[in-house]
Amino acid sequence: MLDQKQVLDRYYLETRCQLVEIAATLDRFDRAESQGEAPQDPRLDQIYASLELLSRSRTSADRSRRLLEMFSDPA
């Protein structure tokens, strides 16, 4: 198993890239307004709610599970 520094060394650039991809997708959505506005869509709220969850640095280490639950239909 990797230590924390090794995790950062190995995954920092990849994570940085994934975050920029998310930013670019949200920018794309905003720019697309000129082509036609989307009706109120819960998927956008889910994306922003998930970003809020990820922005908390001091939280339990089960972010992936909680994120997937957030994107799931109620059981």
Q: Which residues bind another protein (CB under 8 A)?
A: 13-14, 16-17, 20-21, 24-25, 27-28, 31
What minimum distance in Å lies between the beta carbon of 10 and another protein? 12
Nearer to another protein, 31 or 56 (CB): 31
User: Where do we find the tokens 């082509």?
Assistant: 35
Nearer to another protein, 24 or 70 (CB): 24
Phi-psi region of 58 (alpha: psi -120 to 50; beta: other; left: phi over 0): beta
Cβ-based nearer residue to another protein, 7 or 24: 24
Minimum distance of another protein from residue 28's CB (angstroms): 6
